Structure 1
Amino acid sequence: MSASMSRERFIHRASIVTLALTSFAAGVASLIARLGPVRHPLDLTLAPAMFLVYIGLLIALVRWPSRVGGIMRTALIAALIALIAPAWFYTLQATFTPNLQLIDNYPPISSLLLVLVVMAMIHLPTRQGVAIVLLGWLLVALPVLVYLFTHPSELRTPRGADLLMTYGPVFILFFALLPVQRGLTSRIQRLVSEQARMETMVNRDPLTGLYNRRFCERVLEDLLSRHVPAGVIMFDMDRFKAINDTHGHPVGDRVLQRVAERCQQLLRKNECLARWGGEEFLIVVPNVAAPALHALAERLRKSIGELSIEPVPLVNASVGITLIQDGDSMGTILQRVDQALYRAKKHGGNVVES
């Protein structure tokens, strides 16, 4: 698996978890607003609206995973709106309404600003993430902090101290962690890339770029353990030793590379093609019936025979096929397909035998 694929999978899973948890939080906030002793119109409308928005985004992400970037940017904008609206509404209300304290009316949303920071860390490039986080702090935290510092009696209360810590030191700590997180992410991506490169070296044949025998055996063992119906194709290049002896090993290597390229073009992604050894190749085909397996083997044989590889006048392959049967082990399967290949060779080559 490539580094980019690993990162995309991580981001997709993290996005689903984020939207699910945010939807749950919005749902709980909606319930609290309805059951509370004092029902503010903003709380009764904003929290349910955010619940519907995030549920909709979650459904969209599950249905269209390739649109994760746009969906999560929409989620960030919605989160900003959900934070900015109550911050300014309740701050201005407390400022201009006599005997009304902000600490008594401000909803428990201060920690959501930290969630916004985390979302920006995961889903935005460094500059955009920093810009969104700073914008969020200026529009959400700053008006609350200004109000508290101008009303010391509220600042000294437990609720005031909680808001001060969340929008002050705790936020600064999270913000300081943003470049650290970017550095860790970059390092993790390099490690994943190196792991992918090492896996390629372990599982791939260096000449043809196909999977090697070790990897194909693992695929076959996995299908057997899960009792997945499958077929196996083994083919061997006819008179390949003569090609090497007549034209040299570089030409023989080019023949193997061209054959590998042609076969890959005819196979689907879930069909494992491996260089089994020398001029011998093995293909594992999941969920296939006997007629379809034979037809695929014939297409491969004919396609190989149509290759034009100078200075080799003719390239052919003998093909053996078999289906996995009840009670089979990897040994019995390989023995049976090898015997089918032997019969194809015995009949003069360039044929398919089962």
Structure 2
Amino acid sequence: MAMMVMLSLALLAGVCATAMHWLGPVHRPMDRVLPPVVSALLAGLVCALWLRPAWVGVITRIALCLSALTLMAPAWLYTVQASLSPDVRLIDTLPPMSSLFAVFMAMLMIFVPGRRAYVAAAVGWLLVASPVLVYLLTHPGELGTPRGVDLAMAFGPASLMLVVLLPVQRGLMGKIQRLASERDGIEVQLHRDPLTGVNSRLFGERVLRDVLARGGTAGLVMLDLDRFKAINDTYGHPAGDGVLRVVAATCARLLRPSECIARWGGEEFLVILPDVDPGALHGIADRLRVAIAAVPVAPVAQVTASLGTALLHPADTLDTALQRVDRALYRAKELGGNCVCAGEGGPTAGSGSLRERGSVKIPSLEVL
């Protein structure tokens, strides 16, 4: 994208230079030939980049070489001509190219990677700026004119300042990249549970809010490992951590990329299932239960889980949805664990408890 913008601006500058030289009172052969030729070549590069974006590296190198030749040709031709003809002054014949030279040096800083930018800047300065500066230094009469001072400043201190700013620009870019990398790392840490590797509660809450805001059919599954305290007391906390990691990995493998599992706290996990109906919600929850009970986790003989489910409704908030799935999970724990219980049909006005609304009775918790 940046290269397309630079080529388009260079093409516009070439068209303007062509118009000015053809409409101006003085018609020099190079001034009438070089701008239209360069404009045509730039137009070709713009078309090539538009049709083949993958060629951006080659097109960039061609554009930089073309820019160098465009600046080098008048710098050397008019300097040699003024040196050989006593009646010709460089300050009168040299086109207004000092600003274009500054743009060229900036392009080198932006598009040439690494240490090669220093070499490219030095070569560009020697090929374009040095003949003009040498001529002006050997012709004090022209150097003392306003145009001579302008050329000397543009091709001397100003261009060298651009080269000096090159490491500063590189350093800022590197610092920005490091800050972006650190930000991404912090964001990953916030979104990932460090023990199990699944999503964190913070990320799970964000996903649940997005699902509620989007609407549509969605469901929640809250699972809690049965008798997890006894596992820690019997085998130690390292074994308990291993159980959590195995259970999290087992559940994550059974879910699609669009579905989210987050560690909710301790041995609790919340699964968010978008675009799911009640039958599919029960089926996914039961598959999770069976998979947890079947996975071997040494040295524990068997690990089971209690699961509660809740289908989301348009009137749900984050709190009401979590209350219903939590009550369903509590019911599954009361029934002895290793089972799935479904929550009530939806939230009611004022609270999330069970009650009748009009003639419709919200069904109570039941074991699926």
Q: Tell me if TM exceeds 0.5.
A: yes
Offset of residue 77 of structure 1: 1.4
Report the secondary structure of 2:105's partner residue: helix
Report the secondary structure of 1:309's partner residue: coil
Offset of residue 277 of structure 1: 1.0
The structure with the largest helix share of the pair is 1
Could you tell me which amino acid in structure 2 is paired with residue 169 of structure 1? P
Could you tell me which amino acid in structure 1 is paired with residue 154 of structure 2? T
**Does residue 1:128 correspond to 2:116, yes or no?**
yes
Q: What residue in structure 2 maps to residue 334 of structure 1?
A: 322
Q: For residues 131 and 286 of structure 2, what CA distance do their matches in structure 1 show?
A: 74
Could you tell me which amino acid in structure 2 is paired with residue 166 of structure 1? A
Report the TM-score, using the length of structure 2 for normalisation.
Answer: 0.72
Offset of residue 129 of structure 1: 2.7
Q: What residue in structure 2 maps to residue 93 of structure 1?
A: 77
Q: What residue in structure 1 maps to residue 61 of structure 2?
A: 77
Q: What residue in structure 1 maps to residue 34 of structure 2?
A: 42
Q: Which runs of 5+ in 1 are unaligned?
A: 1-15, 65-69
2:205 pairs, out of 187, 207, 217, with: 217
Could you tell me which amino acid in structure 2 is paired with residue 41 of structure 1? V
Q: Do 1:210 and 1:274's aligned partners in 2 also have CA atoms closer than 8 Å?
A: yes
Q: For residues 222 and 75 of structure 1, what CA distance do their matches in structure 2 show?
A: 43
Q: What residue in structure 1 maps to residue 16 of structure 2?
A: 32
CA RMSD of aligned residues (A): 3.6
User: Cα–Cα, structure 1 residues 114 and 301, in superposed 2: closer, same or farther, change >3 Å?
Assistant: farther
Q: For residues 341 and 150 of structure 2, what CA distance do their matches in structure 1 show?
A: 77
Structure with larger RCO (C-alpha < 8 A, sep 6+): 1
* Percent of matched pairs sharing the same residue: 40
Q: For residues 145 and 231 of structure 1, what CA distance do their matches in structure 2 show?
A: 75
User: Cα–Cα, structure 1 residues 114 and 244, in superposed 2: closer, same or farther, change >3 Å?
Assistant: same
Q: Which runs of 5+ in 2 are unaligned?
A: 23-30, 344-368
User: Cα–Cα, structure 1 residues 273 and 105, in superposed 2: closer, same or farther, change >3 Å?
Assistant: same
Q: What residue in structure 2 maps to residue 246 of structure 1?
A: 234
How many aligned residue pairs are there? 326
Offset of residue 275 of structure 1: 0.8
Q: For residues 270 and 160 of structure 1, what CA distance do their matches in structure 2 show?
A: 67
Deviations 1:324-353 (A, max 9, x none): 432321112212332443455448524474
User: Cα–Cα, structure 1 residues 49 and 222, in superposed 2: closer, same or farther, change >3 Å?
Assistant: farther
Report the secondary structure of 2:308's partner residue: strand
Q: What residue in structure 2 maps to residue 53 of structure 1?
A: 45
Matches within 5 A, 1:1-354: 16=1, 18-38=2-22, 40-54=32-46, 56-57=48-49, 71=56, 73-74=57-58, 76-94=60-78, 95-96=80-81, 99=88, 101=90, 103-105=93-95, 107=97, 109-120=100-111, 124-125=113-114, 127-149=115-137, 155-156=143-144, 158-225=146-213, 230-267=218-255, 271-286=259-274, 288-290=275-277, 296-342=284-330, 344-345=332-333, 346=335, 348-351=337-340, 353=342
User: Cα–Cα, structure 1 residues 339 and 151, in superposed 2: closer, same or farther, change >3 Å?
Assistant: farther
Q: For residues 122 and 260 of structure 2, what CA distance do their matches in structure 1 show?
A: 50
Offset of residue 259 of structure 1: 1.8
User: Cα–Cα, structure 1 residues 207 and 159, in superposed 2: closer, same or farther, change >3 Å?
Assistant: same
Report the TM-score, using the length of structure 1 for normalisation.
Answer: 0.74
